[in-house]
Amino acid sequence: MAAVSLRLGDLVWGKLGRYPPWPGKIVNPPKDLKKPRGKKCFFVKFFGTEDHAWIKVEQLKPYHAHKEEMIKINKGKRFQQAVDAVEEFLRRAKGKDQTSSHSSADDKNRRNSSEERSRPNSGDEKRKLSLSEGKVKKNMGEGKKRVSSGSSERGSKSPLKRAQEQSPRKRGRPPKDEKDLTIPESSTVKGMMAGPMAAFKWQPTVNEPVKDADPHFHHFLLSQTEKPTVCYQAITKKLKICEEETGSTSIQAADSTAVNGSITPTDKKIGFLGLGLMGSGIVSNLLKMGHTVTVWNRTAEKEGARLGRTPAEVVSTCDITFACVSDPKAAKDLVLGPSGVLQGIRPGKCYVDMSTVDADTVTELAQVIVSRGGRFLEAPVSGNQQLSNDGMLVILAAGDRGLYEDCSSCFQAMGKTSFFLGEVGNAAKMMLIVNMVQGSFMATIAEGLTLAQVTGQSQQTLLDILNQGQLASIFLDQKCQNILQGNFKPDFYLKYIQKDLRLAIALGDAVNHPTPMAAAANEVYKRAKALDQSDNDMSAVYRAYIH
């Protein structure tokens, strides 16, 4: 086993989440940013970005030893710019060291010349001076030994560090430029590895293309190709838009004093990212209850409103930021992409992800948010567009219990009830199970209606019978009415319920639990998608049975 020693000030390759390794430097964290518990880790400032985070030792490699290897597997433009930034930093540091060396030599020559001129001529004085110098040299020798011993433990200070000590950074802020990086005292941590690449594998996968594109810096705003299906009309008719100096759009209810019964809106600044079918209704209800909300949406053009420039900007200007996007990829891009949520996170900032994703995704997002000193809560919602508009969603939360309490007035505004389910990942699992049941039930309804039709039975009569029995529900009635009327305007996108079924099946596979009903329903939804029903309501699964 070869020991790889790292210390503060070292240049490294760091791997964050699912993204490829990136060049960075081990630096001192902000004073108020606590080190995560568990495995050994270092605080790394990445070159060419504003990103910095706690990275586990096994996810770090020395920069110089692996430079050629990393350059071969990473071809992105931004990656090359980051490598160039490292080389420029090294050139600057080398230049300063040489300047310091020349300056020290000149000072030594001047001192020697001065001693020559002032040397006494008397033999007695020479002998006295010789004895005196002997004592001084002896003391100096002891001093050097002490300094040498100390430097082996603490490391020597370079001119770069002395300059840095004279100009401390603001607390909680990341270094703005490489010249501001502190070269701190040495602190060696040994990571045991079986070989240079044994700690973890960095080979690209199908989901991580690194040769033709740079996935870490491919801007998610540009990667989204979906056309907007929901406009701001429902919101902007009720709101006044207030443009702040930051460029974000801060919106307040036309009657900003609105308070619904016992709901007193929090005085914290609220941000919201993602104004799709669910997000638009959620924001409207937050505003109705008197909250001040700053919004951002990935689609640049929306009627009646100019959006905030970036998610990072919204997060940096708000106390609690909610997000509701379509799937795991969108959730990760929103947080980890350039100008994403992670770049706006500072100690104390709060992030609440309301997207329906898998437990692995939400756990990864929680880790990177907390590594920057932020607080994280997952809070996916059970419901549809109508329930979102009515403020009747069911909220499933997990993670930071204190943040859950801080979100109390927001959850009351957007939902009829909320559940706290413990540690991060639990809410994601529960949400997938709920949607698995709902998606399977919808497929069964469609199957029953088509079977009634082909056997000569009245579909309306079947609905009437169901509505009088134990299965009677608003969901059953609404979806059957959609089918009978041929109205598949989306209230819950078919493509999203199929995504949730797929993730629920994967959840079952992970624990070796059979999900045959969900698997069968998933195949029907896949057929409906092949019939171009993705952007219709989930009840359009009916069309998979009649074609």
Residues near 182 by beta carbon (within 8 Å), at least 6 away in sequence: 9, 27, 28, 161, 164, 175
Q: Are residues 407 and 496 in the same domain?
A: no
- As a dihedral over the C-alpha atoms of residue 52, residue 57, residue 60, residue 65, rounded to 10 degrees, the angle is 140
The residue out of 424, 459, 483 marking a domain boundary is: 424
Q: Are residues 435 and 405 in the same domain?
A: no
Sign of CA dihedral 498, 502, 503, 507: positive
Burial of 46 (0-12, 13-18, 19+ CB in 10 A): buried
Q: b or e along 432-470 (b: 16 or more beta carbons within 10 Å of the residue's beta carbon)?
A: bbbbbebbbbbbebbbbbbebeeeeeebeebbeebeeee
Taking the C-alpha atoms of residue 362 and residue 398, their distance in angstroms, rounded to an integer, is 10
Q: Which residue segment(s) compose the domain that 490 sits in?
A: 431-544
Q: Are residues 440 and 409 in the same domain?
A: no
Indicate the helix (H) or strand (E) that contains 449.
Answer: helix 426-454
Indicate the helix (H) or strand (E) that contains 60.
Answer: strand 60-62
Q: Residue holding tokens 């199929």? A: 498
Q: Are residues 378 and 450 in the same domain?
A: no
* DSSP-assigned states of every residue in 176-241: SSGGG--------EEEEESSTT-S------TT---SSS-TTTS-HHHH--PPP---SHHHHTTEEE
Other Cβ atoms less than 10 A from the Cβ of 184: the count is 17
The residue out of 367, 397, 424 marking a domain boundary is: 424
Q: Quote the pTM value.
A: 0.58
In a domain, 155, yes or no: no
Indicate the helix (H) or strand (E) that contains 420.
Answer: strand 415-420
In a domain, 250, yes or no: no
In a domain, 349, yes or no: yes
The residue out of 46, 71, 91 marking a domain boundary is: 91
Q: Are residues 411 and 276 in the same domain?
A: yes
Other Cβ atoms less than 10 A from the Cβ of 499: the count is 22
Q: Are residues 348 and 497 in the same domain?
A: no
Taking the C-alpha atoms of residue 311 and residue 441, their distance in angstroms, rounded to an integer, is 36
Taking the C-alpha atoms of residue 233 and residue 493, their distance in angstroms, rounded to an integer, is 20
Taking the CA atoms of the chain, what radius of gyration do you get in angstroms?
31
Residues near 229 by beta carbon (within 8 Å), at least 6 away in sequence: 276, 277, 490, 535
E strand segments, 77-161 = none
Residues near 153 by beta carbon (within 8 Å), at least 6 away in sequence: 186
Query: What total number of domains does the chain contain?
Result: 3
Indicate the helix (H) or strand (E) that contains 296.
Answer: strand 293-296
Quote the distance between the C-alpha of residue 148 and its chain's center: 44
Closest CA to 4 of 183, 202, 182, 198: 198
The two tokens of residue 499 are: 């995504």
Taking the C-alpha atoms of residue 86 and residue 25, their distance in angstroms, rounded to an integer, is 9
pLDDT tens, the chain, 547 aa long: 345 688 889 999 988 765 678 899 999 887 767 777 777 888 888 888 767 788 888 889 999 988 888 887 776 777 888 888 898 889 888 877 666 666 655 555 555 555 555 444 444 444 444 444 454 444 444 444 443 443 334 334 444 343 344 444 443 444 444 333 333 333 333 333 333 333 334 433 333 333 333 333 322 222 222 333 333 344 444 443 444 434 444 444 333 333 344 578 999 999 999 999 899 999 999 988 888 899 998 764 433 333 567 999 999 999 999 999 999 999 999 999 988 999 999 999 999 999 999 999 999 999 999 999 999 999 999 999 999 999 999 999 999 999 999 999 999 999 999 999 999 999 999 999 999 999 999 999 999 999 999 999 999 999 999 999 999 999 999 999 999 999 999 999 999 999 999 999 999 999 999 999 999 999 999 999 999 999 999 999 999 999 8
Residues near 490 by beta carbon (within 8 Å), at least 6 away in sequence: 229, 277, 385, 535, 536, 537
Taking the C-alpha atoms of residue 432 and residue 497, their distance in angstroms, rounded to an integer, is 10
In a domain, 362, yes or no: yes
> What are the CA-CA distances from residue 221 to residues 52, 217, 218, 323, 446 (Å)?
22, 11, 9, 15, 37
In a domain, 501, yes or no: yes
- 442: domain CATH number is 1.10.1040.10
User: What pLDDT sits at residue 77?
Assistant: 73
Q: Are residues 268 and 397 in the same domain?
A: yes
- As a dihedral over the C-alpha atoms of residue 518, residue 519, residue 524, residue 525, rounded to 10 degrees, the angle is 70
In a domain, 198, yes or no: no
Taking the C-alpha atoms of residue 418 and residue 393, their distance in angstroms, rounded to an integer, is 8
> What are the CA-CA distances from residue 486 to residues 216, 478, 529 (Å)?
43, 12, 17
In a domain, 470, yes or no: yes
Give, as one character, the DSSP assignment of residue 537: B
- The answer to whether 262 and 325 have CB atoms below 8 angstroms apart is no
Taking the C-alpha atoms of residue 384 and residue 496, their distance in angstroms, rounded to an integer, is 11
In a domain, 454, yes or no: yes
Q: Are residues 397 and 278 in the same domain?
A: yes
User: What pLDDT sits at residue 217?
Assistant: 31
Taking the C-alpha atoms of residue 115 and residue 38, their distance in angstroms, rounded to an integer, is 58
- 51: domain CATH number is 2.30.30.140
Q: Are residues 416 and 454 in the same domain?
A: no
Q: Are residues 449 and 376 in the same domain?
A: no
Sign of CA dihedral 482, 483, 487, 488: positive
- 326: domain CATH number is 3.40.50.720
Q: Are residues 413 and 290 in the same domain?
A: yes
User: What pLDDT sits at residue 188?
Assistant: 31
Q: Are residues 410 and 452 in the same domain?
A: no
Give, as one character, the DSSP assignment of residue 539: G
- Give the count of alpha carbons within 13 A of 13, CB side only: 24
Residues near 491 by beta carbon (within 8 Å), at least 6 away in sequence: 277, 384, 385, 386, 478, 537, 538
